[in-house]
A and B are shown apart, each in its own frame.
Chain A
């Protein structure tokens, strides 16, 4: 057996497994991001609102989720959550790729609360007078938040949100634990099937590195191109 055989990474079954894994990892990241960002924005707005119950609910949600490891979230959503569903909904879940659905739920919640904290610091960076001015110009409460506060807050939050996206990308690897066939799972599968662990893990390492560094570079460029303006 050759010490390092790059051929298996170019073509063949192992190549296909690894590429499928990479594709699923990227899909998990994108789908979870699409759900997590609005969730994060909503929670951040709750946490900065003037109503005490809303603020408390937002804080409880954030603390409850981020103080439990992602792995425990995944175990809960995959093994326990289906038991809480009515029979018909459970059948529907089991028929539709339960590993991926549960992974998306857990990743969305976990990434969502971390994004909420980034957006919240973005909101706090916008001077209070901006909202007051918007209100006094006749915008309603929601319109003022949507049209004046959030666009400015999001601009300040883009770099931390991108680094949160790197975390989300890395965290997709944990979905291995419930058998979602993402990159880490497929790399381990190649290792079990062929003992070609060196090749499989090298592929996985390069893939994780490339995507992470690309997102970090994007954050760096954004910060250069659009530095935070002080209003």
Chain B
């Protein structure tokens, strides 16, 4: 196994870079991180809209959330991959396609995290902010959201774990992320499938388990703080 790692470690980490496009583990990490960051503003807006008192706003968002959560990511990936170029007339690369789909899914899941956080916050926080003369937007921005986001931090880290796992689906449209590269290596060396896929699994495990532990520690730290006791502990369903 050691000589296997010795021969292919660079290919596994960055793909064909710098001769070709970035790939491998680096692409997996860059794509997941970028997707989560890009999804944050959208997720925040959708989350606030989801718990807003205006039906014209919260109903469409609720429908969108239910639809996106009811279909497999792979299906949306196929739709995007086959139809986006036809609609826009521009050939979209696999990486861009994956990024678009991940941003869509992440913003929906982040919206649920934000909405759950706002619902978990005691009503008194928002009401006292309003009665002190803050407008709806200002009360959200200065009072509700800062608390929500702090308590939502563990869920956001868990969402990063889900995103990393989801990038593996790029394999199916030929995105050269780490699972794809592992299969390429498997084809090259041919007879060492067990070792190649164990290394792949171990790589994901280290990355995702590390982040899950970080989320767990963050959650425990937040629970210990007295301010956090006011809010219920939110647990958005993370997969």
Contact = CB atoms under 8 A, between A and B. Distances in A.
Contact of B204 (A69, A197, A216): A69
Interface in A139-190: 160, 163, 166-167, 170-171, 173-174, 176-177, 184, 187-188
Given A67-B161, A71-B171, A75-B183, A83 B193 contact: yes
B179 A71 contact: yes
B193 A208 contact: no
Interface in A55-81: 63-64, 67-73, 75-76, 79-80
Contact of A67 (B74, B166, B182, B208): B208
Contacts, number: 109
- The interface residues of chain B, by DSSP majority, are classed as helix
A114 B209 contact: no
- The interface residues of chain A, by DSSP majority, are classed as helix
B72 interface: yes
Contacts of B79: 201, 205
B73 to A, nearest CB: 8
B165 interface: yes
Interface in A168-224: 170-171, 173-174, 176-177, 184, 187-188, 191, 197-198, 201, 204-205, 208-209, 212-213, 216
Of A72, A167, A188, A216, which is in contact with the most chain B CB atoms at under 10 Å from its CB?
A: A72
A92 interface: no
B196 A69 contact: no
Contact of B168 (A72, A114, A163, A213): A72
A72 B204 contact: yes
Contacts of B208: 67-68
B5 to A, nearest CB: 16
A184 B75 contact: yes
A114 B237 CA distance: 11
A7 B79 CA distance: 21
Interface in B187-215: 193-194, 196-198, 200-201, 204-205, 208-209, 212
A75 B75 contact: no
Contacts of B204: 67-69, 72
A161 B71 CA distance: 18
A93 to B, nearest CB: 14
B198 A76 contact: yes
Interface residues of B, number: 39
Nearest to B207: A67
A213 B179 contact: no
Size class of A's contact patch? 35 or more
B72 A80 contact: no
A187 B78 contact: yes
A168 to B, nearest CB: 10
A231 interface: no
Contacts of B75: 173, 184, 201, 204-205, 208
A137 interface: no
Contacts of B205: 63-64, 67-68
Nearest to B169: A71
B111 to A, nearest CB: 17
A184 B69 CA distance: 17
B200 A75 contact: yes
A187 B78 CA distance: 10
Of A69, A174, A201, A209, which is in contact with the most chain B CB atoms at under 10 Å from its CB?
A: A69
A186 to B, nearest CB: 12
A171 B72 CA distance: 7
B70 A69 contact: no
17 contacts: A64-B205, A67-B161, A68-B204, A69-B164, A69-B165, A69-B179, A72-B204, A76-B197, A163-B237, A170-B71, A171-B72, A173-B75, A191-B82, A201-B75, A201-B78, A208-B70, A216-B70
Interface of B: 66-67, 69-75, 78-79, 82-83, 161, 164-166, 168-169, 171-172, 179, 182-183, 186, 193-194, 196-198, 200-201, 204-205, 208-209, 212, 237, 239
Interface of A: 63-64, 67-73, 75-76, 79-80, 83-84, 114, 160, 163, 166-167, 170-171, 173-174, 176-177, 184, 187-188, 191, 197-198, 201, 204-205, 208-209, 212-213, 216
